[in-house]
């Protein structure tokens, strides 16, 4: 974990496979199982399309149903961050570090991203958040064309990371924070059935 301003964050993406009460989170071993869990709005993590050392380096990718399951994906004393939690993190960076602009966007990612591992434009990891480019799983083009087989790795693996927030939006959407090769951060609306990384923040 790492203290950033008044907040304490996990310094890596989680790889949790059980809710706080001990129930197992659904493990989707195939695209079909992933689609089935999402259709039934069941919390799940992705166990396909992953390079052999992916989980060790990047943690797991979860749908948003796992985030909001009332059995709690976070262990005692921790929680999935809100948009407000992330905004407080960005405020600390803005107040304590020089924020440059890239393509008209504030360059927060430069301070949050790990100093290696990105396809291009590594960060300097000023606050030790150590964001790594774990990519994400979409429900679009999940299969490789006519072969009907799962793709070999997550979408944009090496080029971006998306962190779920706890916010649920309309039309089965949820908010996520995206960091990309371009260094800026974006608040994105993703379908709850997509697979994103999760960071945790310590309860106050």
Within 10 A of 99 (CB to CB), how many other CB atoms are there?
A: 14
d(CA 79, CA 34): 24
Distance (Å, whole) CA 167 – CA 169: 6
Residues of the chain with pLDDT under 70: 101-105, 140-153, 183-184
What is residue 148's predicted lDDT score, i.e. its pLDDT? 43
Backbone angles phi, psi at 57, to 5 degrees: -85, -40
pLDDT tens, 103-113?
666 778 889 99
Whether residue 122 contacts residue 114, with contact meaning beta carbons closer than 8 Å, is answered with: yes
Is the Cβ–Cβ distance between 182 and 121 less than 8 Å? yes
Alpha carbons 14 and 75: distance in angstroms, whole number: 11
Distance, CA of 77 to CA of 57 (rounded, Å): 24
Q: Give the residue extent of every domain in the chain.
A: 2-202
β 26-28/105-106 pair status: unpaired
* pTM of model > 0.85: yes
Give the tens place of pLDDT for each residue, 141-188.
565 444 344 455 677 788 889 999 999 999 999 999 999 887 667 888
What contacts 1, CB < 8 A, 6 or more positions away?
A: 8, 9, 10, 11, 202
Strand partners, 110: none
């Amino acid at each position: 974990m790492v203290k950033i301003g008044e907040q304490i964050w996990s310094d890596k993406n989680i790889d949790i496979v059980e809710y706080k009460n001990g129930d197992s989170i659904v493990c989707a071993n195939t695209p079909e199982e992933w689609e089935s869990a999402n259709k039934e709005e069941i919390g799940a993590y992705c166990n396909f399309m992953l390079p052999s050392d992916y989980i060790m380096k990047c943690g797991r990718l979860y749908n948003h149903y796992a985030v909001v399951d009332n059995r709690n994906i976070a262990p005692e004393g921790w929680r999935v961050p809100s948009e407000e939690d992330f905004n407080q993190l960005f405020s600390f960076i803005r107040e304590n570090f020089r924020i440059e602009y890239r393509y008209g966007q504030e360059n927060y990612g430069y301070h949050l991203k790990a100093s290696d591992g990105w396809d291009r434009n590594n960060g300097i990891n000023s606050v030790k958040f150590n964001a790594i480019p774990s990519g994400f799983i979409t429900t679009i083009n999940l299969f490789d064309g006519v072969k009907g087989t799962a793709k070999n790795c997550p979408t944009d693996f090496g080029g971006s990371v998306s962190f779920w927030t706890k916010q649920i939006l309309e039309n089965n959407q949820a908010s996520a924070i995206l960091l990309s090769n371009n260094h800026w951060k974006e608040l994105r609306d993703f379908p709850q059935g997509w697979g994103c990384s999760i960071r945790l923040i310590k309860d106050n």
